[in-house]
Amino acid sequence: MKTFYIETFGCQMNAHDSEKVVGTLLHQGYQKVETPEEAELVFYNTCSIRDKAEQKVFNRLNQFKKDGKGKTFAVLGCVAQQEGEKIFEKAPHVSLVCGSASYNKLPELLVQLETGNRRVTGLSLDTEDTFETPVTRRDNPHRAYLTIIEGCDKSCAYCVVPFTRGPERSRTSASVLSESLELARAGYTDIQLLGQNVNSYRDPSPAGWDFATLLDNVGRVPGIRRVRFTTSHPRDFRKSIIDAIDQNTALCNHVHLPVQSGSDRILAAMQRLYTREEYMERIRWMKAARRPIAITSDIIVGFPGETDDDLAATLGLLDEVEFDAIFSFKYSRRPNTPALALDDQIPEEEKTRRLTIVQEHQRNIQIRRNAAYLGSVEECMVEGFNKATSQWIGRTSQNKTLNFLRPGRDEDVTGRYLDVRVTRAGPNSLVGEAVN
Ligand code: 5AD
Ligand code: SF4
């Protein structure tokens, strides 16, 4: 029996891919270990969204250049797809390079490795398949990821994903629903639907469901109490999604809708295919929903040509929307992407300055918004217990972290849904006390 170790970088799609890869390996008779030192096979499932993320895997591999003898190294995911066989030159102790569009072939590739082949690759993007397997080994017993669409057909000027994950492929609605039923039967109550752009989901079977219909149906699976989805693209985000959330309380009142910039000039240069006004129209749909919908977003600062006026437009958008949270990033030049060719790159120190401005601006908005929850009672799914603070870690339907005490009662409530009264609010989380 061979032992393996896997470390995962990047997004939830990658985290879930790793769960499927681990299941596949266990099914092939491999045994999972918790450190690379103990392992015969070491897997890195990698991210290349920004340069920093990409460097992480090469740092890891370098650590094992000398003392990795006797081990087999495999690079999976987005860096594998992007760098391909060049990885063998940069890190000669690597024996397998495989992108996410080739994971279906992993069993065959593993056989090649076992027969002594030291240069095994799975790099074709030419596939209509998604990576589906009944042997997924999920890390969390209550919340489950479920892929509905893989790849991306957009061409945002900064983004490497269309090159690393290939063209869009949707799963059939029947297969998504049967996995959802299976999850409910196994005791999962919380499902997160995943895709690079879930809004462009299109059922390939004759039923022909769109995303809103799929979402609504997953939300009706008996036993499933919460359904979230990520990531959305504003261009493909339809009002029917909000109608579904309005009609079905199992659908979480939270939408992550990356805007990237508040400036029309920069949105056009980014090839985002929407204007600020079109984005705001979607925000108005959400603000008019029956339940208050938490809205989160992604922002990139320092895209080539971004001026102080463009940055001011982004800050103005933050004020106008009042996001519940944002993830903000300095623009990072990526191989193959259209923005590589643009002049007027912004110096690193200037990007850092702009990032700080955006983050401080948003911090004040979050302090204000979160303070509005003081005194309210929120239903929390309990994710775990923090020994250091003696608090339970809860998550609200709006995706806010609500840490809470449960005085006088010490049974394990992980995975349960409890009502919690909010007693304190910070910029990034809430604190409270359980009422049941
Ligand atoms: N540089 C900086 N941020 C990026 N993102 C994607 N590509 C880049 C890049 N080249 C950000 C976007 C996206 C999030 C997942 O990562 O904001 O929504
Ligand atoms: Fe990173 Fe994007 Fe690949 Fe996810 S899809 S691992 S964020 S590059």
The pLDDT, as a whole number, for residue 67 is 78
The pLDDT, as a whole number, for residue 102 is 96
For the segment 262-271, what is each residue's pLDDT rounded down to a tens digit? 999 999 999 9
The pLDDT, as a whole number, for residue 70 is 87
**Separation CA 150–CA 153 (nearest Å):** 10
Question: Ligand 1 centre and the CA of 350: distance in Å?
Answer: 18
Sign of the CA dihedral with 182 first, then 145, 204, and 104 last: negative
Q: How confident is the model at residue 27 (pLDDT cuts 50, 70, 90)?
A: very high
CB 346 within 8 A of CB 404: no
Atom of ligand 1 nearest to the CA of 298: 17
In percent, the amount of the chain with pLDDT more than 90 equals 97
Residues near 149 by beta carbon (within 8 Å), at least 6 away in sequence: 130, 168, 169, 170, 171, 195, 196, 197, 198, 200, 201
Residues near 360 by beta carbon (within 8 Å), at least 6 away in sequence: none
Q: Is the minimum distance from the CB of 334 to ligand 1 under 6 angstroms?
A: yes
Atom of ligand 2 nearest to the CA of 45: 6
Pairing of strands 377-386, 401-405: unpaired
Question: Ligand 2 centre and the CA of 378: distance in Å?
Answer: 32
pLDDT exceeds 90 at position 410: no
Q: How confident is the model at residue 119 (pLDDT cuts 50, 70, 90)?
A: very high
**Separation CA 117–CA 98 (nearest Å):** 14
Q: Is the minimum distance from the CB of 260 to ligand 1 under 6 angstroms?
A: yes
Taking CA atoms only, the protein residue closest to ligand 2 atom 5 is 161
* Burial tier of 3 (Cβ tally within 10 Å: 0-12, 13-18, 19+): middle
**Separation CA 358–CA 369 (nearest Å):** 17
Atom of ligand 1 nearest to the CA of 333: 10
Q: How confident is the model at residue 436 (pLDDT cuts 50, 70, 90)?
A: confident
The residue written with tokens 């063209």 in the block is 167
The pLDDT, as a whole number, for residue 265 is 98
Q: Tokens standing for 129?
A: 């398949």
CB 192 within 8 A of CB 226: no
CB 309 within 8 A of CB 263: yes
pLDDT exceeds 80 at position 1: no
CB 391 within 8 A of CB 220: no
Q: What is the mean pLDDT of residues 224-236?
A: 98
Strand partners, 329: 300
Q: How confident is the model at residue 435 (pLDDT cuts 50, 70, 90)?
A: very high
The pLDDT, as a whole number, for residue 65 is 83
Atom of ligand 2 nearest to the CA of 9: 6
For the segment 55-109, what is each residue's pLDDT rounded down to a tens digit? 999 999 999 887 778 899 999 999 999 999 999 999 999 999 999 999 999 999 9
Q: How confident is the model at residue 227 (pLDDT cuts 50, 70, 90)?
A: very high
Cα torsion 173, 161, 152, 183 to 10°: value is 10
Q: Is the minimum distance from the CB of 152 to ligand 1 under 6 angstroms?
A: no
Mean pLDDT of the chain: 97
Count the Cβ atoms, other than its own, within 10 Å of residue 140: 13
Taking CA atoms only, the protein residue closest to ligand 1 atom 17 is 298
Q: How confident is the model at residue 404 (pLDDT cuts 50, 70, 90)?
A: very high
Q: What is the mean pLDDT of residues 381-406?
A: 97
**Separation CA 84–CA 82 (nearest Å):** 6
Residue among 12, 14, 47, 50 whose CB has most ligand 1 atoms within 8 A, to mutate: 50
The phi, psi pair for 171, rounded to 5°, reads: -80, 160
For the segment 265-292, what is each residue's pLDDT rounded down to a tens digit? 999 999 999 999 999 999 999 999 999 9
Q: How confident is the model at residue 23 (pLDDT cuts 50, 70, 90)?
A: very high
**Separation CA 197–CA 169 (nearest Å):** 11
Residues near 13 by beta carbon (within 8 Å), at least 6 away in sequence: 100, 147, 150, 165, 194, 195, 196
Alpha helices by DSSP H, listed for 9-148, are 12-27, 51-67, 77-83, 86-90, 106-114
Q: Tokens standing for 65?
A: 């250049």
Adjacency order of strands within the sheet including 254-256: 254-256, 294-301, 325-330
Q: What is the mean pLDDT of residues 246-252?
A: 97
Q: Tokens standing for 219?
A: 């939300």
CB 77 within 8 A of CB 161: no
In percent, the amount of the chain with pLDDT more than 70 equals 100
Distances (CA, A) of 272 to 266, 360, 369: 9, 25, 28
**Separation CA 331–CA 104 (nearest Å):** 33
